[in-house]
Amino acid sequence: MRKLKLAELNRDKVSEYKAKAKIPVIVVLDNIRSAINVGSVFRTSDAYLIQKIYLCGITAKPPHKEITKSAIGATDSVEWEYCESTPDCVTRLKAEGAFMIGIEQTDKSQSFDNFKIDSEKTYALILGNEVNGISDEVIPLLDVALELPQFGTKHSLNISVCAGIVIWDFWKAMRLR
């Protein structure tokens, strides 16, 4: 066994990537404080052919030094848009037919491992602020709140780790062949 060199990975050029079909999943970042987390979500979204990312509120947007550092070019490949208001963004996406999923702990959250992904739907995954979670104004706009089961002493995961787990599961359920 040997580690492959970058030249051996045969990665798509940005133009080839943009021409590829994407899975019907949109990511909405609600007031994310850390630009490094934003960049990490871009990188994961590139890896798993996410349709688009919406950067809302105080969430940093490209070009930003720390996004660039962790995204490693994914801001050029993944389509994104800035929205000042997360509730306005969510309302618009919902009107366009997206099923709104908040990754959040609420009194009505369902366990993510029990959620059945329908490959015929378009989903919007809302991920919230590192301290306060999804904005209170967005919670009533959700179709469902899902939480990742956790078994340790902490009550939450880093937003980029959470995004990676959730996006990977959606990719597995919806991957294009």
Burial of 16 (0-12, 13-18, 19+ CB in 10 A): exposed
What residues are paired with 129 via a beta bridge? 133
What structural domains and CATH numbers belong to the chain?
A: 20-174 (3.40.1280.10)
Centre a 10 Å sphere on the Cβ of residue 166 and count the other Cβ atoms it contains: 23
Which pLDDT tens digit goes with each residue over 57-88? 999 999 999 999 999 999 999 999 999 999 99
Q: What is the pLDDT of residues 16-54, one digit of tens each?
A: 999 999 999 999 999 999 999 999 999 999 999 999 999
Structure tokens at 83: 């929205």
- Which residue(s) pair with 56 in the sheet? 30, 83
- Residue 48 gets which letter from DSSP? T
